[in-house]
Amino acid sequence: MSLNIRLVVNGRRHTAKINPATSLLDFLRDTLGYKGVKICCNTGECGACTILFNGKPVNSCVVLAADAAGAEIVTVEGLAEGDRLHPVQQAFIDTGAVQCGYCTPGFIISVKALLDRTKNPTAEEIEEAVSGNICRCTGYTKIVDAIQIAAERLQARS
């Protein structure tokens, strides 16, 4: 059985025919080619596949692609404006928070969502925002720096 869905990803409209058992992760990666959505645990535990679903961060591996019909999705590919990286992306580079970089897209989405909610996050709010994102390379320490710098730059901007 198949299902037709329409959705918007990073501002672009897509129409597709899907198998209703498909996860949103597989659909975004394999059908639409958004490889910035990373696959790792496939069980909702690591956050590598985090995307914004109508503005909210979710693990795309535990969401049905069918549920995205009519939704607006933002992946990490949708953050930069032309060649200009989003301040969160730039902060990850500047602080050395990108080692292998595999967790990075998921982290960036979680942090962007956090800074969309609050300009000046507390340590608890940061912990809440990224506890669902595992990084195996950095020990999180440089990511703490990245979040701080991103927040400062975004505040300075507004």
Partner 1 sequence: MDYFEPKTIREAVSLLARYGEKAKVIAGGTDVLVDMKFKEEPSCLVNIKRIPALSYIREDDGFLRVGTLTPIREIETSSLVRQKLPLLWEAAHQFASLQIRNTATIGGNVCRASPSGEMLAPLLVLEASAVARFSRGEKKLPFGELFLGPGQTLLGSKGLLTEIEIALPPERSGSVYLKHAVRGAMDIAMVGVAVLLTPDAGGKKAKDVRIGLGAVAPTPIRAKSAEKALRGKAMARAVVEEAARRAAADAKPITDHRASAEYRRWIVEALTRKGLAQAWKAATGKEVDR
Partner 2 sequence: MAKAEYSVLGTSIPRMGGVERVAGAGIYGIDLVLPDAVRGGVLRSQYAHATIKSIDTSEAESLPGVYAVVTAEDAPDVKYGRTSNDRYMLARGKVRYMGDPVAAVAADSEATLKKALKKIKVEYEPLPVVLDAEAAMKADAPALHEEIPLPANLPKDTRVKNVCGYSTLHVGDPDRAMAEADLVVEETYETKMVHPQYLEPRIAATRHEADGRLTVWVNAQAPFGVRSEVSKLLKIPISGIRVLVTEIGGGFGGKATGTHSSAGLEPICALLAIKAKKPVMMVLDKAEETVSTTVRAPVKVWIQTGVNKDGTIVARKAKLIFDAGAYSGFGALAGSRCTQMLAGWYRTPNAHVDGYIVYTNKQVCGPVRGPGGPQAAFPVESHMDSIAAKLGMDPVEFRLKNIPKPGERIAGVPKLRDVSLGETIRVAAEKIGWGKVKLEKNQGVGIATGSWIEGSGPGGGAVVKINEDGTAAVLIGKVDYGTAPRFGIPMIVAEELGIPTDDVTVLNVDTDASPWDAGTVGSRSTLVAGNAARLAAIDARNQLLRMAAKQLEASSDDLEIKDRQIRVKGTPVKALALAAVATAAHNEIGEVIGRGYFDSKAVEAEEKEKGSSPPFTSHAAIVEVDPDTGNVKILKYVAVHDVGFVIHPQAVEGQIEGATAMSIGQALCEQVLFDDKGKTLNPTFVDYLMPTWNMIPKIETVLIKGYPGAGPYGTKGAGEIGCVPPPAAIANAICNAVGVRLTSLPLSPENVLRAIREQKGVEP
Ligand X SMILES: Cc1cc2nc3c(=O)[nH]c(=O)nc-3n(C[C@H](O)[C@H](O)[C@H](O)COP(=O)(O)OP(=O)(O)OC[C@H]3O[C@@H](n4cnc5c(N)ncnc54)[C@H](O)[C@@H]3O)c2cc1C
Residue numbers at the binding site for partner 2 (CB under 8 A):
33-43, 45-46, 48, 75-77, 79-80, 85, 89-90, 92-96, 98-105, 108, 127, 130-142, 144
Q: Which span sits near partner 1 by CB under 8 A: 8-16, 60-68, 85-93, 147-155?
A: 60-68
Cα distance between residue 119 and residue 142, in whole Å:
20
Output 72 or 94, the one with its CB closest to partner 1: 72
3-state SS string for 79-92: CCECCECCHHHHHH
Cα distance between residue 29 and residue 140, in whole Å:
26
Token pair for residue 80? 């930069």
* 62 interacts with partner 1 by CB under 8 A: yes
* 45 interacts with ligand X by CB under 6 A: yes
* 45 interacts with ligand FES by CB under 6 A: yes
Binding mask 56-95 for ligand FES (x = CB under 6 A): ---x-x----------------------------------
CA-wise closest residue to 26 among 1, 58, 60, 72: 60
Extended strands (E) in the chain: 3-9, 12-18, 50-53, 56-59, 72-74
111-150 positions binding ligand FES, by CB under 6 A:
135-138
Applying CB under 6 A, which residues contact ligand X? 43-45, 62
